[in-house]
Amino acid sequence: VQLVESGVGSVHTGGSLRLSCTASGSAYTANCVAWFRQAPGKEREGVAAFYPPNDQRYYADSVKGRFTISRRYLNYTVFLSMDNLSPADSGVYYCAARRYCGDGYWHIPDGYNYWGRGTQVTVST
């Protein structure tokens, strides 16, 4: 499975961005698609995940109400829509995939088998 992220990555505080992740290959091994982010000097953290088999979406507390993860079935693309951004949201955003995900472990990076290269998001004041 190959994951490719895309999206414009620079806005001011309060702005919005939408990132996309397109998956190719054996999609059945990548049912769960998640977004992680990593700021300089910090650990990679789970932002949101989407598990289509049960239409379940997961969000980190820090982004609930501001970020929305969604999917377009054509071309197997997953989007991360981000609103009301702040400098704390800056970092490299990675798309990742694994076969299953659930509450309690979707946010753990080690369980993901596939990763994109990442795309930089910068939120300035």
What is the identity of the amino acid at 66?
Answer: R
CA-based diameter of the chain, in Å? 41
pLDDT tens for residues 99-125?
A: 999 999 999 999 999 999 999 999 999
Q: Give the mean pLDDT of the chain.
A: 92
- Tell me the C-alpha distance between 59 and 124, whole Å: 23
CA pair distance 26, 106, nearest whole angstrom: 20
**59 with 101: CB under 8 angstroms?**
no
Residues 40-68 as b or e (16 or more Cβ within 10 Å = b): eeeebbbbbbbbeeeeeebbbeebeeebb
Model confidence at 27, in pLDDT bands (50, 70, 90)?
A: low
More confident residue, 9 or 115: 115
* Pairing mode, strands 119-124 and 10-12: parallel
pLDDT reading at 14 higher than 90: yes
Q: How confident is the model at residue 29 (pLDDT cuts 50, 70, 90)?
A: confident
Give the residue carrying structure tokens 């990593």: 38
Task: Write out pLDDT tens, residues 70-95.
Answer: 988 777 899 999 999 999 999 999 99
- What gap in Å lies between CA 24 and CA 57, rounded to an integer? 21
pLDDT greater than 70 at residue 39: yes
- How many whole angstroms separate alpha carbon 11 and alpha carbon 84? 10
> 30 vs 38, which has greater pLDDT?
38
DSSP character string of 47-66: EEEEEGGGTEEEE-TTTTTT
